[in-house]
Amino acid sequence: MQFDLGVSQQVEAVYTSADVVEQRRVVRAALALRPGDRVLDIGVGPGLLAAEMAAEVGPDGRICGIDISESMLAIAATRAEVAGGPTIELELASAGRIPHAAESFDVVVSTQVFEYIEDVAGALEEVRRVLRPGGRVVLLDTDWDSLVWRSSDDERMRRVLTAFEQHLADPHLPRTFDDVLTKAGFTVTHLQAVPLLNARYDERSYSAGLIDIVAGFVPGRDKVTDVEAKAWADDLRGLGSGYFFSLNRYLFVASAL
Ligand SMILES: C[S@@+](CC[C@H](N)C(=O)[O-])C[C@H]1O[C@@H](n2cnc3c(N)ncnc32)[C@H](O)[C@@H]1O
């Protein structure tokens, strides 16, 4: 998926929903940041987590964010100044080549990013390089097989979701991540499911925003047409109190020896 300006703005909007605010609360609890911590956020996106972390590490801490999308970095830059925190340092760079010296960070965090990365082992090698000995990494990704989304047309829903999986390098990363992290030399110290649940249609919810992102991505893929994508979206929006959406993120905390 290209995180151009339009998609970046859509992601920013869904990431300000109460569902994702709650997800960030869970991530920050797992991060357990202390004043003065030096943190790298890989795939910093719209900078919402980075800004929250800046307030936690305080003026003696350091928050750096990298991303491969200039549009995302431009949005994150609007949040770079945080009262009581360090200025967030933002750079255009990929997880596969982190522009920081060895052992520069106490903590590395990356939420909803590794599922987009082709060479996960290479990125984890970079994470290990920039973490100080004993530093920790917090990763959160979705297993898209955990998705339960009610529709009036199950066959169309299946095709739309199969087409949407093409926006990721690995839509099922969490099920292998413990293994992958261990092979990369990390010790997984904590693992938890982070559910998102919308049991009725609400246009301010995460999944209502996701409808637009999916409907924008799938036309022309797996034979899904524009007309079908629109009908799929209209169907979901029309379900009202019969609407149902549930999806699991998975959170991993691991330490580098
Ligand atoms: C779904 S957004 C998540 C943004 C942010 N981490 C959050 O949770 O709010 C995915 C982000 O990962 C970035 N990204 C994808 N592949 C990347 C890579 N190889 N290196 C760095 N960033 C990457 C995208 O540009 C996008 O900003």
**Domains along the sequence of the chain with CATH:** 5-256 (3.40.50.150)
The finding on whether 116 has its CB within 6 A of some atom of ligand 1 is yes
Mutate to test the pocket of ligand 1, among 116, 117, 119, 194 (most ligand atoms within 8 A of CB): 116
CA-117 nearest atom, ligand 1? 19
Q: In angstroms, what CA-CA distances link 187 with 40, 110, 121, 191?
A: 19, 17, 15, 11
pLDDT for the residue numbered 172: 97
Structure confidence at residue 16 (pLDDT): 96
| Position 155 pLDDT exceeds 90 | yes
Q: How confident is the model at residue 2 (pLDDT cuts 50, 70, 90)?
A: confident
Q: What is the spatial distance between Cα 220 and Cα 165, in angstroms, rounded to a whole number?
A: 14
Distance CA 142, CA 247 (A): 8
Burial of 13 (0-12, 13-18, 19+ CB in 10 A): middle
Which tens digit of pLDDT belongs to each residue from 182-235?
999 999 999 999 999 999 999 999 999 999 999 999 999 999 999 999 999 999
Q: Amino acid letter at 147?
A: L
Please report the DSSP string for 42-96 in residue order: ET-TTSHHHHHHHHHH-TTSEEEEEES-HHHHHHHHTT---TTSPPPEEEE--TT
Atom from ligand 1 closest to the CA of residue 49: 9
E strands, 130-185, are: 131-142, 148-149
Q: Are strands 148-149 and 245-256 parallel, antiparallel or unpaired?
A: antiparallel
Cα 44 to ligand 1 centroid, rounded to whole Å: 6
Burial class (CB in 10 A: 0-12, 13-18, 19+), 84: exposed
Q: Which atom of ligand 1 is nearest to the CA of 72?
A: 27
Q: Which residue minimizes the CA distance to atom 26 of ligand 1?
A: 45
pLDDT in tens, 24-67: 999 999 999 999 999 999 999 999 999 999 999 999 999 999 99
**CA 61 from centroid of its chain's CA atoms:** 23
54 lines ligand 1 (CB under 6 A): no
**Phi and psi angles of residue 139, each rounded to the nearest 5 degrees, phi first:** -125, 140
Q: Report how far ligand 1's centroid is from the alpha carbon of 79 (Å).
A: 16
C-beta of 53 in contact with ligand 1 (< 6 A):
no
Share of the chain above pLDDT 90, in %: 98
Q: What is the pTM of this model?
A: 0.97
In this prediction, residue 257 has a pLDDT band, given cuts at 50, 70 and 90, of: confident
Provide the sign of the torsion angle of the four alpha carbons 143, 145, 148, 152, taken in this order.
Answer: positive
Q: Residue 177's pLDDT band (boundaries 50, 70, 90)? A: very high
Q: What is the pLDDT of residue 11?
A: 93
> DSSP characters for 189-205?
EEEEEEEEEE-S--TTS
State how beta strands 38-42 and 245-256 pair. unpaired
Q: What is the pLDDT of residues 129-154, one digit of tens each?
A: 999 999 999 999 999 999 999 999 99
What is the predicted pLDDT for the residue at 240?
86
Rounded distance between C-alpha atoms, residue 34 and residue 215, angstroms: 41
The finding on whether 174 has its CB within 6 A of some atom of ligand 1 is: no
Contact 114 CB / ligand 1 (< 6 Å): no
Q: Where are the beta strands (DSSP E) in 131-216?
A: 131-142, 148-149, 186-198
The conformational region for residue 40 under phi > 0 = left, psi -120 to 50 = alpha, else beta, is: beta
Of ligand 1's listed atoms, the one at least distance from the Cα of 66 is: 21
